């Protein structure tokens, strides 16, 4: 129920410790913070590689596919998280098969993807219409919610996150190599194709996880913005990964806390904080660039 009026919101006292205690005394906020933390770590790590590999459009497609998945699951009486996972992973495999066969015809490809996207979203809308919990459900799927996350949902998020992060830990180093220079990596015997397929499936998992907090339309806030911010600040992969996760965590925690103290939806705060972080990083880079050129000119 992200958009219904829950009465007057709790007032922050601006005593940070007191506010934090007020926040944590509710079980649903504890669950929301746990879920947010899990999601931010997964989305940050996988988002870093996604931006590095220039696959944010695949991420966009996967996130929109999540909507019919979640709505279809709700219609069938299954938990929406399951629908999200199944649809995102299946689409990831589909993209992996199709993108190879048709990578030459870029114009036809973008028209085809656009048509498929519109059809999938229309299907999601049909499912949501047929499902009785109509409007609130649509908004929760599209724009996220943080109230009513159950213990079992947190457990499922954690399980999927553990699988995704372990696989990423195993393939991380060759994946980095294959992402930065696929030709040289292939020549050195790195299984570039297998890595690409595995990564797309991981991306599907990350999108399905993130969509449960930010909603399917706002997944980019956690998937793209923290990684893009980190890559503005550093080119070193290890530092970049750590920075991405830190920014994703900060954005999620801030978003959850501020959303708790206002009547406005979490999706707005998470996207705004993520976008602000990106703008600050651009400004910092621009500033240091000018300072660097200035120093070089003086020397």
Partner 1 sequence: MIAGIDPLDGLRAMLSHDFIRHAFLAGTFIAAAAGLVGYFVVLRNQVFAGDALSHVAFTGALAALAFGIDPLLGLFAATILVALGMGALGGRARSRDVVVGTVFAWILGLGVLFLSVYTTSRSSSNGAVGVNVLFGSIYGLSLRQAVVAAAVGTGVTSAVVLIARPLLFASVDSDVAAARGLPVRLLGLLFLALVGVTVAEAVQAVGALLIFGLLVTPAATAQRLTARPFLALALSMVLSVAFLWTGLTLSYASARLPPSFLIVALAFGTYLAVVLGRSVLGIWQRTRGALVSLPA
Which residues contact partner 1 by CB under 8 A? 2-5, 51, 54, 56-57, 59-60, 106-108, 110-119, 121-123, 125-126, 129-130, 134-135, 138-139, 142-143, 217-221, 224-225, 228, 263-265, 267-272, 274-275, 278
The least distance separating partner 1 from the CB of residue 187, rounded to whole angstroms, comes to: 27
The least distance separating partner 1 from the CB of residue 3, rounded to whole angstroms, comes to: 5
Give whichever of 90 and 113 is closer to partner 1, judged by the CB atom.
113
The least distance separating partner 1 from the CB of residue 63, rounded to whole angstroms, comes to: 10
The least distance separating partner 1 from the CB of residue 137, rounded to whole angstroms, comes to: 10
Give whichever of 139 and 199 is closer to partner 1, judged by the CB atom.
139
The least distance separating partner 1 from the CB of residue 32, rounded to whole angstroms, comes to: 17
What would the two tokens of residue 118 be?
């519109």
The least distance separating partner 1 from the CB of residue 150, rounded to whole angstroms, comes to: 24
How far apart, in whole angstroms, are the C-alpha atoms of residue 151 and residue 35?
9
Give whichever of 72 and 267 is closer to partner 1, judged by the CB atom.
267
Give whichever of 2 and 204 is closer to partner 1, judged by the CB atom.
2
Give whichever of 51 and 156 is closer to partner 1, judged by the CB atom.
51
Give whichever of 18 and 114 is closer to partner 1, judged by the CB atom.
114
């Amino acid at each position: 129920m992200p958009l219904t009026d829950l009465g007057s919101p709790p007032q922050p006292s601006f005593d940070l410790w007191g506010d934090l205690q007020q926040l944590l005394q509710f079980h649903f906020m504890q669950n929301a913070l746990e879920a947010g933390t899990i999601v931010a770590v997964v989305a940050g790590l996988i988002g870093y590689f996604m931006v590095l590999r220039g696959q944010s459009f695949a991420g966009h497609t996967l996130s929109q596919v999540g909507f019919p998945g979640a709505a279809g699951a709700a219609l069938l009486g299954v938990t929406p998280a399951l629908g999200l996972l199944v649809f995102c992973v299946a689409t990831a495999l589909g993209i992996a098969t199709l993108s190879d066969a048709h990578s030459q015809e870029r114009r036809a490809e973008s028209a085809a993807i656009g048509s498929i996207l519109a059809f999938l979203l229309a299907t999601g809308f049909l499912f949501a219409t047929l499902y009785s919990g109509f409007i609130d459900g649509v908004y929760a799927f599209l724009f996220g919610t943080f109230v009513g996350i159950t213990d079992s949902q947190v457990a499922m998020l954690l399980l999927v996150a553990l699988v995704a992060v372990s696989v990423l830990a195993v393939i991380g180093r060759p994946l980095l190599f294959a992402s930065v220079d696929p030709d040289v990596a292939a020549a050195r015997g790195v299984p570039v194709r297998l890595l690409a397929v595995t990564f797309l499936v991981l991306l599907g998992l990350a999108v399905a996880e993130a969509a449960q907090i930010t909603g399917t339309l706002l997944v980019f806030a956690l998937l793209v913005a923290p990684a893009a911010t980190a890559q503005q600040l550093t080119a070193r992969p290890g530092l970049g990964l750590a920075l991405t996760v830190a920014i994703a965590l900060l954005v999620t925690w801030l978003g959850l806390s501020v959303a708790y103290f206002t009547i406005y939806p979490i999706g707005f705060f998470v996207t705004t904080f993520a976008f602000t972080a990106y703008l600050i990083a651009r400004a910092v880079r621009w500033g240091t660039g000018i300072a660097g050129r200035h120093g070089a000119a003086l020397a």
